[in-house]
Amino acid sequence: MRKWKMWEIMVGGVLLIALAYFLYISIPRNSHTLSYNEISAESRLRSLVSCEAMWVHYDLDGNGKKDYWTYDISCLYRMIMLKNPLKEITSVNPLINLTFVRADAAAAADDVFGKGIIELWTGITQTAVPASGYLFRAMERDENGNLYNQNEFKGVKALNESKFAFTAYPVKYGETGYRTFIFNEEGTIYGIDTGSDARKIIIQWPGVNPETIDGPVVGRKWHRTQ
């Protein structure tokens, strides 16, 4: 049997290390994926500012009041598409698209508001489809514990004259993301690591100043992400 020379062993070792390093940098790291998912979730939440502004400016619910839509995300899309306030918007809404809308974890059922916006239900289902590992939904209560859904739209409380809030959370904590994000009419996104899959869904605004409030994990406070 041929004996390997020392220099051959050393060269072989170097080549193996180089190969291992190449494979390491070539394979996408999970942390990179999680970062992308979280950035994407923030971006989608931020787009809701324009949607709510459009709702108010064009009075999409037709009630003559400057109020916000607080029921869900899917109906923001459907009403904007139905009313078509920007003439260049046809089948694609640049502010909120179907990928985002399908990720609404609490989308309005197709019989809640009757006819008028349900025609635009195409492509939206009651089974949420995650967008970049995240699901989204309208938050239910404000910092005082009051429901966001205050005023009626077609007989259902779905509007608020001064407030709205939405949340984004990972489908699988630790696998598709760590942080949960919240966002309201003030325009600041806050994030927090909830520490577990069971505590990732936040549906009440944590306080007047979230940065002073503990999240699900004691001592771990909300922080601004922008």
| Each residue's pLDDT tens digit, 74-93 | 888 888 777 765 554 444 45
Res. 97 pLDDT band, cuts 50 70 90: confident
- pLDDT digits 0-9 by tens, 98-111: 888 889 999 988 77
Residue 70 contacts residue 61 (beta carbons within 8 Å): no
Residue 203 contacts residue 194 (beta carbons within 8 Å): no
Tokens 């630790």 label which residue? 174
Alpha-carbon distance 116 to 145, whole Å? 32
**Cβ neighbours of 58 (radius 10 Å):** 15
pLDDT at 112 over 90: no
pLDDT at 117 over 60: no
Of the candidates 91, 97, 90, 105, the residue with the CA atom closest to the CA atom of residue 76: 97
Residue 45 contacts residue 136 (beta carbons within 8 Å): yes
Task: Write down the pLDDT at residue 4.
Answer: 43
Task: Write down the pLDDT at residue 113.
Answer: 80
